[in-house]
Structure 1
Amino acid sequence: MDTAVNAAFDAAAYKTTTRAQWQAAADAWHRWGGFIGSWLGEATETMFDLAHIGPGSRVLDVAAGAGEQSISAARRVGPGGHVLATDIAPALLERAMADARQAGLSNLQTRELDGEALQVLPPASFDAAISRVGLIYFPDQQRALAGICRALKPGGRVAAVVYSTPDRNGFFSIPVKIIRERAQLPAPLPGQPSPFSLGADGVLEAVFAKAGLREIEVRRVPSPVKLPSAAECVRFERESFGALHQMMVKLDAAEKEKVWQDIEEALRAFETRDGFVGPCEMLVGVGRVAQA
């Protein structure tokens, strides 16, 4: 008789760990904010355009992180608009709020909020919702989208930036592959978030359609990671990518150091005479809430 117990993904434990890691990484993520804004700038502007964000818009930013894109949205909507930046990690939101004040923006607010618990927001109170590299990490993406849609006015738009497939994102997929092998991680459990969970053809469209969104469109945006060297890319990922640290949690300090060295060696394949150019492609998807 087979007495083996099937492992189950623990979403609550995952969120607790994720929150703690982002709390710890908040300073580093904030320090890299200028680079992140440049790296993801085209994808971010495409997200704004597809969401029809303009002067006077009320915008909900889900999984806003340190708020670089939230501040860009606040500038775009102007004094007659409003941006609410939400995230599970308050330390990140503190940086966003401080940067908004420094920029003289009074139309941005922050709120600590799980992206799957948006039902607490007033219904039909936003014109658009955005999420930059956040939706991929929600254990229950449909619950998150249901909360987003509830918060939007009829006809409002949801736009998200996600990674495409691993083969088009070597700067990230290669470290993930190396860590998975060295840490002897099993295949992801059903429901376990992963960076490339929405990247395959038709997947993001299907997720949006299941949530009841209409007029769905997905665009590919080449977003190469340009840095002086592979070593600098490793420093960026080591300081800022909580998902990679989460994968290495069972390795000791020496093992972790060896993994990072091996990642740097592998990423040197993307060094050119002009510096490091890491392959990266983002998908920008948009869908519209049904009219009343």
Structure 2
Amino acid sequence: MTAFNAEAYKTTTHAQWQDAAKAWNDWGRVLQQWLGPATETMLDMAGVAHGSHVLDVAAGAGEQSLAAAERVGAAGRVLATDISENILEYAAENARAAGHEQLDTLVCDGEVLDVPPASFDAAISRVGLIYFPDQQAALGRIRRALKAGGRFAAMVYSTPDRNGFFSTPVSIIRERAALPPPLPGQPGPFSLGGSGVLASVLQTAGFEDIEEHVIEAPLCLPNASDCLRFEKESFGALHQMLSSLSPEKRESVWDEIADALSAYETKDGFVGPCEMVVVSGRNGKEIQ
């Protein structure tokens, strides 16, 4: 079995988000409608309130960063961090357009996050922790950044059977491209979704008073073709999985995915099954 290469994975992930940045930002309204309620739960569990200083790790185009900025107001601060400079440019642009001068951005790898110790009241990560090869390194840096008593909350997908809108394309691509199962330690969309898995990861990192909430978050769109376009334009990992196939075979796979996604169409439109797990923990003491 070939060993998982974390550095190569990071290089590929950076390239994926550099390329997908515009599309991910363009789908921002859909992201807000889809993940907005679960995001509010995440912010609640992190204790984000007026005047808070908030760290957002793997922030992407910053839709949830802006939600945090709304809460903290002019008296607070939000720092949105991400490995992709392209996507953070959209986060900064969105903040300016919304008049959120209290939101800053920082390009960095979350595993080596370098911010002043004990400088944040709260930290969040929405669908980002699942893609860190060394989650404990990232969580250690997040704990170091939090004040004593500060809380961190992360949102991840639950299990494949509860997330058909995403797991269906992944399984089809994996079969058609003859991809092996994920290697031990390899990050991925469902790597932290099992019952108690994320809670255990936070506990291992030293967080206390762990809380977990499971939230239904169906992806609702006019039809299945919209879901296909959403994933085809902005889910860079799917394109990476298809990279070994010829252009003709790739299109054939996308056609198969379109047929499979049509199973989630209802009289009210496309309703893609999705379930999120939100877990939070408290930093018991300052880490120097």
Scaled by the length of structure 1, the TM-score of the pair is 0.97
User: In the alignment, which of 239, 242, 245 is matched to residue 245 of structure 1?
Assistant: 239
Q: Counterpart in 2 of 1:257?
A: 251
Question: Which residue is equivalent to 2:65?
Answer: 70
1:124 aligns with 2:118: yes
Report the residue type matching 1:215 in the other structure: D
> Is 1:134 paired with 2:139?
no
Alignment gaps of 5+ in structure 1: 1-5
Q: Structure 1: how far apart are the matches of 2:174 and 2:77?
A: 41
Q: Measure the CA separation in 1 of the matches of 2:201 and 2:35.
A: 23
Q: What residue in structure 2 maps to residue 156 of structure 1?
A: 150
How far is 1:191 from its partner? Answer: 1.4
AA aligned to 1:287 is G
Per-residue CA distance 1:252-289 (angstroms, 9 max, x = gap): 11111111110010111110011100000000110011
Which of 16, 20, 32 is the aligned partner of 2:11?
Answer: 16
Alignment partner of 2:133: what SS?
A: coil
| Misfit runs of 4+, over 4 Å | none
CA-atom RMSD in angstroms: 0.8
What does residue range 139-288 of structure 1 map to in structure 2 within 5 Å?
139-288=133-282
1:291 is displaced (CA, Å) by: 3.6
Which secondary structure does the structure 1 equivalent of 2:110 belong to? coil
Task: Provide the C-alpha distance between the structure 2 equivalents of 1:98 and 1:88, rounded to a whole number of angstroms.
Answer: 17
Q: Deviations over 1:87-141 (max 9, x none)?
A: 00001000110111111111000010101111x2110000111000000010011
User: Matched residue pairs, number?
Assistant: 286
1:123-160 CA-to-partner distances (Å, cap 9, x unmatched) read 00001110000000100110100000000001110100
Give the share of equivalent positions with the same residue, in percent. 63
- TM-score normalised according to structure 2 size: 0.98
* Distance across 2 between alignment mates of 1:121 and 1:154: 15
Unaligned runs of 5+ in 2: none
> Secondary structure of 1:116's match?
helix
Local SS of the residue matching 2:150:
strand
Question: SS of the counterpart of 1:80?
Answer: coil
Q: Distance in 1 between matches of 2:110 and 2:177?
A: 29
Q: Which amino acid aligns with 1:27?
A: K
Q: Distance in 1 between matches of 2:243 and 2:77?
A: 39
3-state SS of 1:283 partner: strand
Equivalent residues in 2 for 1:89-128, closer than 5 Å: 89-118=84-113, 120-128=114-122
**From 87, 91, 98, the counterpart of 2:82:** 87
Counterpart Cα distance in 1 of 2:241 and 2:186: 12
**Whole-angstrom distance in 1 between the partners of 2:222 and 2:255:** 17
CA distance in structure 2 between the aligned counterparts of 1:256 and 1:286, rounded to whole angstroms:
39
**AA of the residue aligned to 1:76:** R
1:39 matched to 2:20: no
